[in-house]
Amino acid sequence: MGLSMLNLPLPIKIIPSGPTSDEQLISFARANGPYRIEQNAEGEIIVTSPAGGETSSWEAYLTYAVTRWTIETGEGISFSPSAGFRLPDKTLLSPDAS
């Protein structure tokens, strides 16, 4: 996509001219880290600021708690807040812990 987020007020919504592949979204997110990049069901790309100190601390705790549960129970798998999940309605979200 080649767009930079520098000096833009956040959050912003980007409406692509056509469908965006997962590979294009990943490339866009890598080019614009540390911003959080998500996509809604309409295909619009939502860019928000990185987590602040308090939010990041809660994300770390939640990730730890989910990971500990998966280890203790032997069930499932855990992911960090940077993971993106494509939902059935085509939304791409990155939850605080999963």
Closest by Cα among 53, 65, 59, 66 to 82: 59
Type of residue at 90: K
Percent of the chain exceeding pLDDT 70 equals: 92
Q: Residue 87: which domain range?
A: 12-93
Query: Cα separation of 20 and 10, whole Å?
Result: 21
pLDDT in tens, 52-82: 888 889 989 999 999 999 999 999 999 988 8
Residue 98 resides in a domain: no
Average pLDDT rounded to a whole number, residues 21-42: 90
Going by pLDDT thresholds of 50, 70 and 90, the confidence category of residue 6 is low
Q: Which residues contact 27 (CB under 8 A, 6 or more apart)?
A: 1
State the total domains in the chain.
1
Average pLDDT rounded to a whole number, residues 6-13: 79
CATH code for the domain of 48? 3.90.1570.10
Looking at residue 4, what is its pLDDT?
Answer: 61
